[in-house]
Structure 1
Amino acid sequence: MITDKKIHRAFGVYGIYTYGNKILVINKNRGPYINRYDLPGGSLEDGESLIGALKREFLEETGIEVKIEKNLGIADFMLPWDWNDCEFVHHITAYYLVEKVRGNINDPHQFEGQDSLSALWLSEKEANINNASPLVLKAFRWLKESVFDPDIEVYNDWKMKM
């Protein structure tokens, strides 16, 4: 655990939508996972429920309307991020397995605050620490092992991809 650094705490909800052995991911354009693949999802707006936020974020970032199949659990990640006078981010995440209701994958509408450039299918063979967020890597472990490990993952050597 990191205790001697100024830490920014962030919370978000994220959906795992699978097709065969692939997961639908987004290409991040900001934040600690910039220029990496990440799961669709994000922060809650004031007064918004977890499920409401996930459905909104998923639709905004992928063009897909989803329903919740299962709550997989909560996980957290700690990694270096020089932001707002902080040295690390403690990213707390709620994972959900989701299913498509309607819609087609499309490039997200760009607006202030949009942090997704595109949505695409990614296989485990294509994902690695250099091109994917820790959230995506944990999602692939869950797919492979059918076990959700909630232990914190600390990435002291994390490098931003500018």
Structure 2
Amino acid sequence: MITDKKIHRAFGVYGIYTDGNKILVINKNRGPYINRYDLPGGSLEDGESLTVALKREFLEETGFEVKVDINLGIADFMLPWAWNECEFVHHIAAYYLVEVIRGDIKKPHQFEGQDSLGALWLSEEEANINNASPLVLKAFRWLKESVFDPDVEVYNDWEIRM
């Protein structure tokens, strides 16, 4: 546990959509996971429910309209990130399994706050700590083991890839 640092707490909703042994991911262009693959999803806007936020974020970041199947659980991650006078981020993530209703992968519309450069398919063999967020790595563990470990994961040596 990190107790001697100023910590920014961030909460978001994230969807896992699979095709065989691959997960649909986005290429992040900002935040602590910049220049890494991350799960589609993000923060709630005022008045949004968890599933409405997930559907909006998924569509904005990937081009897919989704149906939310099941809440897999909540996970949290702590890692160094100098932002807004904070030294660490405590990222709390609600994971959902989703199905695509319609759409195609398309380059997302860029607007203030958009943090996706586009979506692509990623296999577990291609994912590692140097190119993927902790959220993606946990999603692959869930797919492989069918177990969702709720314990916090602390990445003291996390590198921001500018």
Same fold (TM over 0.5): yes
* Corresponding residue number in structure 2 for 1:119: 119
* Corresponding residue number in structure 1 for 2:99: 99
For 2:3 and 2:137, the matched residues in 1 are separated by: 25
* Corresponding residue number in structure 2 for 1:26: 26
For 1:111 and 1:8, the matched residues in 2 are separated by: 24
* Corresponding residue number in structure 1 for 2:80: 80
Per-residue CA deviation, residues 86-123 of structure 1 (Å, 9 max, x unaligned), is 00000000000000000001111111110000100000
Aligned CA-pair RMSD: 0.3
Q: Which runs of 4+ in 1 moved over 2 A?
A: none
The one-letter code of the counterpart of 1:101 is: I
The one-letter code of the counterpart of 1:19 is: D
For 1:135 and 1:78, the matched residues in 2 are separated by: 11
Q: What is the number of equivalent residue pairs in this alignment? A: 162
For 2:108 and 2:149, the matched residues in 1 are separated by: 31
For 1:103 and 1:68, the matched residues in 2 are separated by: 15
For 2:98 and 2:149, the matched residues in 1 are separated by: 18
How do 1:131-146 residues align onto structure 2 when only pairs under 5 Å count?
131-146=131-146
Cα distance, 1:20 vs structure 2: 0.1
Cα distance, 1:46 vs structure 2: 0.3
Unaligned runs of 5+ in 2: none
Percent identity, aligned pairs only? 87
With the length of structure 1 as denominator, give the TM-score of the two structures: 1.00
* Corresponding residue number in structure 1 for 2:15: 15
For 1:105 and 1:66, the matched residues in 2 are separated by: 12
SS at match of 1:141: helix
